[in-house]
């Protein structure tokens, strides 16, 4: 149970994305859509994770960069990180599943703070890969944190996911 404010932090890709078997141009990234739905349910504060150096506009080029970052365990620099997240006991963590795990920028965020004693509630958008190894990788990056079972949302179905998000949040045992 959380008596402190909830933080909903997310990384999301606008522009070219793979959705339903095609490359489409999204004005708002799928994970950002899901994060807004989590906010409706929890009343939490939103924090977008964004890289200093943007990913390529071209979707395929971005997947190449993401694969290279994963292979190299890169930690891309981030814009506008808060000084502290100490006021939050519960952190919802949203991201697209890139190569079976969160984008490396999400790990930059996780490694920038001490999550000991906090509860991390992951959610991801994907086009068929589900959560992959995300929960395990997040737990390894945040020793001392409790990582709850995440929710994987198919990107092409994110606009109709509010009921699923409500049920999932209700199943966590957290109250808001």
Mean of pLDDT values over 100-123? 98
* CA trace torsion 116, 67, 63, 18 (10° rounding): -60
Q: Sorting pLDDT into bands at 50, 70 and 90, what band is 2?
A: very low
Contacts of 64 (CB under 8 A, 6+ apart): none
pLDDT of residue 4: 59
Cα separation, 59 vs 57, in Å, equals 6
Whether residue 1 lies inside any domain: the answer is no
Q: Which of 139-145's residues contact partners 24+ apart within 8 Å by CB, and which partners? A: 141/107, 141/110, 141/111, 142/110, 142/115, 142/118, 143/116, 144/114, 144/115, 144/116, 144/117, 145/115, 145/116, 145/117, 145/118, 145/119, 145/120
Whether residue 105 lies inside any domain: the answer is yes
Whether residue 176 lies inside any domain: the answer is no
Q: Are strands 45-48 and 6-10 parallel, antiparallel or unpaired?
A: parallel
Contacts of 170 (CB under 8 A, 6+ apart): none
Whether residue 75 lies inside any domain: the answer is yes
Structural domain that includes position 131 = 6-171
Q: Which CATH number is 126's domain given?
A: 3.40.50.360
Whether residue 122 lies inside any domain: the answer is yes
Strand ranges, E, within the chain: 6-10, 15-19, 22-26, 45-48, 90-96, 119-126, 146-147, 151-154
Q: Sorting pLDDT into bands at 50, 70 and 90, what band is 1?
A: very low
Domain count, the chain: 1
Convert the pLDDT of each residue in 48-105 to its tens digit.
999 999 999 999 999 999 999 999 999 999 999 999 999 999 999 999 999 999 999 9
Average pLDDT along the chain: 95
Q: Is the pLDDT of residue 140 over 60?
A: yes
């Amino acid at each position: 149970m959380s008596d402190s404010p909830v933080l909903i932090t997310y990384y999301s890709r606008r522009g070219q994305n793979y959705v339903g078997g095609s490359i489409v141009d999204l004005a708002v990234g799928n994970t950002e859509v899901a994060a807004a739905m989590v906010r409706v349910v929890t009343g939490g504060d939103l924090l977008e994770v964004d890289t200093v150096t943007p990913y390529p506009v071209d979707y395929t080029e971005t997947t190449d960069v993401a694969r290279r970052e994963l292979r190299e365990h890169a930690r891309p620099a981030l814009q506008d990180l808060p000084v502290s997240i100490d006021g939050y006991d519960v952190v919802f963590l949203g991201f697209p599943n890139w190569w079976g795990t969160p984008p490396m920028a999400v790990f930059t965020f996780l490694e920038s703070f001490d999550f000991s004693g906090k509860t991390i509630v992951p959610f991801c958008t994907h086009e068929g890969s589900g959560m992959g190894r995300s929960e395990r990788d997040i737990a390894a990056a945040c020793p001392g944190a409790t990582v709850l079972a995440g929710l994987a949302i198919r990107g092409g179905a994110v606009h109709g996911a509010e009921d699923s998000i409500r049920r999932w949040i209700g199943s966590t045992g957290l109250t808001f």
